[in-house]
Structure 1
Amino acid sequence: MQNYFSSHFKLGVLGGGQLGRMLLSETQKLDIHTVILDKSADAPCAQICNEFYQGDLLDFDTVYNFGKKVDLLTIEIENVNIDALDKLESEGLTIYPKPSNLRIIQNKAQQKKFYKEKQIPTADFNHYAFVDELKHSYENGLVTFPFVWKSARFGYDGNGVKVVKNYNDLEALPEGECIAEKMIPFKNELAVIVARNPKGDLVTYPVVEMEFHPEANQVEYVICPARIDETVAEKARKVALKVADAFDFVGLLAVEMFQTQDDEILVNEVAPRTHNSGHYSIEASYTSQFEQHLRSILDFPLGNTDSKLAGIMVNLVGAEGYTGEVIYENIQEIMNIDGVTPHLYGKKITKPFRKMGHVTIVNQNIDKAREVAQKVKETVKVISK
């Protein structure tokens, strides 16, 4: 049996951002040797992992050669070179999540087609190889305003997603493969994190509710548990489990969903990794999502996903109008409040809407936690010198 602890075993992680940084806090507890690849020399993981390599995650040779240095490979970002992962897997390297899953998930058009094939509920959509095709569809009455445009590749944190309300919006869209998705009038945006190990054991975290920033299209607050009826929560968990089973997924899968006006659940998209919607779990859950990710990919028993307390996560993002060396204004003030824990991601340079950290608020009472979250949001400003 493989000895992972205080041993020669090397866990490789593609990506060295904040998700990797929070994963390292768990590998350090278990003394698991961790090797990171990231394109940036000052990535959040660079100074605190056991070994760090700088390189392009989309370059075949870089990813392939990195994979030869490690005993098991995982990711903290899905935009990686899948051809290199396929070759490594064919040569016997264990990779979770599986490259075949990542190939589907990293392309939103393929992801949506997969849901349709597997009869997983999702919003209606059309797929276009070029924006010009989308324009022709509109001109021929096949698409009507408003609709949601999504770039098939490389979207993140509100980038690569736009509500198209008129022809001027349509004209302004960037070139490239995309989907046009029907606008869903929804009550809530929800998420469920599913963990699955190679044995096929499955657990879900409680359903969380996400509140978004209206301009940036970024999550501002994650609220656990979601303030929804238990029958809706149960429906959301069942849909999330169906998605994980359809992929035959191993690792952590965050399933983002819409709760429609008539309480149907539609899958929006998934992330095949630890996720912003699970950060609350570090303080509020018996098993954080980062520990659970390790448990799932190393085929350990999965941990208890219950919450000890209600938890709310507030994203700390760069304020508009500030670019440069970061200053967290008034952060000491929120540290006077019970149940408040800041997490800063080690990014030295801020820019508008860049994710720089988050704050978790825990409380017995979800409404009280939400009040404190509002106060935190209004107090801390991420600015520059």
Structure 2
Amino acid sequence: MNYFSSDFKLGILGGGQLGKMLLYNTRKFDIQTYVLDPSNEAPSRMACNTFVQGDLMDYDTVYNFGKQVDVLTIEIENVNVNALETLEEEGIKVFPSAKTLKQIQNKATQKLFYQDHNLPTAPFSRYAYLSEIEDAISNDALSFPFVWKAAQFGYDGNGVKIVRQLSDLNDLPKGECIAEQLVPFKNELAVIVARSSNGETKTYPVVEMEFHPEANQVEYVICPARVSPEVAQKAQDVALKTSKAYNHVGLLAVELFLTEDDTILINEVAPRPHNSGHQTIEASYTSQFEQHIRAILGLPLGSTDNTVAGVMVNLVGAEGHTGQVKYQNIETIMAMNGVTPHIYGKQQTRPFRKMGHVTITNKDLNTARQIAEEVKSSIKVISI
């Protein structure tokens, strides 16, 4: 099939910032794109050929959208999988597949998948209702502390909470969830695996993630991770084994815990471009977004090597600010060497909403990390 400057149509379910950054590359290759998103102000709207506003969880909406394209992909997991199954039966190529998405969408199902495939992960228990956790605590079947995770619809730190006492369960959603053993880790790592529709596989260098203590969001992504070659190899081996088990096509971001004794445990995965790979736009030969396009179209995968060290800083809405967005001091950070801001195009800010990111590149990783600290302390995402 001729993908370039032709009648070929690529569909993307979700029109957020990940979709927008995917579209940078489809425009570069002159690939026709269709985007479906519930918001009329989706960041991707400005960059696609055809934009459709609609509910990603509605069967008919997703099915009718998918019938318009030749290949369908996602930038968010929360989509109607039943519609994707029907589209696959009717000959539409869907990457990642409906089967892969179904295994990943639900965190309880995801954790059981790790168990079934001998993939290392923290011990956990599955509960149909929050009240069952309370019963387990009262019956001494579950002890504090543990990590509560909503089985579905969690994102950007939402749907996860460390529970240290009974009152921490107050106001949590009442539905299906898991209680995961609190892992005493020293580092959070991630590996992005690219796997093409023809079976070619490549991994990006291991990255290190630093999280905001309150919002449970990534503040910094550091590449390459500051770990030994032995630990990096362990992380890549686990990620490759996970990728093989899922048999996915596209990208699979594998988030990992590194424990005090250098054991690697899987936290969770995402079958799409991921926050832990944003620095690849400036710091790698092939960005994660271009790689995803190459993978789902069965094209040769690009080099995943770094050209320089890269650090990514997330730009999130400042606490106490809701409304029309303003990026305060952006000129200050743009005057710094090796600093590239990416503004996602969301008009309204609110506390901890992802509004953009900044990549810092440098030949020296420590220098890049220092500049990242300056960037973080300089720019503020506030409301007018």
Partner of 1:116 in structure 2?
115
Q: Deviations over 1:191-220 (max 9, x none)?
A: 000000122111000000000000000000
1:40 and 2:39 are equivalent in the alignment:
yes
Give the residue type in structure 2 aligned to 1:84.
A
Partner of 1:208 in structure 2?
207
Q: Secondary structure at the match of 1:46?
A: helix
Counterpart Cα distance in 2 of 1:114 and 1:256: 15
Counterpart Cα distance in 2 of 1:172 and 1:156: 18
Q: CA RMSD in A?
A: 0.5
Partner of 2:74 in structure 1?
75
Partner of 1:146 in structure 2?
145
Counterpart Cα distance in 1 of 2:173 and 2:94: 33
- 1:170 Cα deviation after fit: 2.3
Give the residue type in structure 2 aligned to 1:54.
Q
Counterpart Cα distance in 2 of 1:86 and 1:273: 18
Count of residue correspondences: 384
Counterpart Cα distance in 1 of 2:92 and 2:355: 34
Q: Unaligned 5+ residue runs, structure 1?
A: none
Q: Deviations over 1:138-159 (max 9, x none)?
A: 1111110010000000000000
1:312 and 2:341 are equivalent in the alignment:
no
Partner of 1:262 in structure 2?
261
Counterpart Cα distance in 2 of 1:347 and 1:280: 20
Counterpart Cα distance in 2 of 1:173 and 1:165: 14
Counterpart Cα distance in 2 of 1:241 and 1:371: 32
Q: Secondary structure at the match of 2:132?
A: helix
Counterpart Cα distance in 1 of 2:69 and 2:248: 21
Q: Secondary structure at the match of 1:133?
A: helix
Q: Deviations over 1:286-342 (max 9, x none)?
A: 000000000100001111000000000000000000011110000001111110000
Partner of 1:332 in structure 2?
331
| 168-177 or 36-45, larger mean C-alpha shift | 168-177
Q: Secondary structure at the match of 1:231?
A: helix
Counterpart Cα distance in 2 of 1:344 and 1:33: 23
Q: Deviations over 1:102-160 (max 9, x none)?
A: 00101000000000000000000000000111111111111100100000000000000
Counterpart Cα distance in 1 of 2:141 and 2:336: 54
- 1:34 Cα deviation after fit: 0.5
Partner of 1:133 in structure 2?
132
- 1:48 Cα deviation after fit: 1.7
- 1:173 Cα deviation after fit: 2.3
For 1:226-305, list aligned pairs within 5 A. Answer: 226-305=225-304
- 1:239 Cα deviation after fit: 0.2
Give the residue type in structure 2 aligned to 1:383.
I
- 1:162 Cα deviation after fit: 0.2
TM-score by length of 2: 0.99
Q: Unaligned 5+ residue runs, structure 2?
A: none
Counterpart Cα distance in 2 of 1:256 and 1:384: 32
- 1:14 Cα deviation after fit: 0.1
TM-score by length of 1: 0.99
Counterpart Cα distance in 2 of 1:74 and 1:171: 37
Q: Secondary structure at the match of 2:47?
A: coil
Displacement over 4 Å in runs of 4+: none
Identity across matched positions, percent: 64
Q: Deviations over 1:328-373 (max 9, x none)?
A: 0000011111100000000011000000000000001111000000
- 1:47 Cα deviation after fit: 1.8
Partner of 1:217 in structure 2?
216
Partner of 2:96 in structure 1?
97
- 1:174 Cα deviation after fit: 1.8
Counterpart Cα distance in 2 of 1:285 and 1:35: 27
Counterpart Cα distance in 1 of 2:45 and 2:15: 7
Give the residue type in structure 2 aligned to 1:317.
V
Give the residue type in structure 1 aligned to 2:338.
G
Counterpart Cα distance in 2 of 1:259 and 1:232: 9
Counterpart Cα distance in 2 of 1:214 and 1:82: 34
- 1:172 Cα deviation after fit: 3.4
Partner of 1:172 in structure 2?
171
Counterpart Cα distance in 2 of 1:268 and 1:47: 34
Counterpart Cα distance in 2 of 1:46 and 1:295: 22
Q: Secondary structure at the match of 2:374?
A: helix
1:377 and 2:376 are equivalent in the alignment:
yes
Q: Secondary structure at the match of 2:345?
A: coil
Q: Deviations over 1:239-293 (max 9, x none)?
A: 0000000011110000000000100000000000000000000000000000000
Counterpart Cα distance in 1 of 2:113 and 2:281: 32
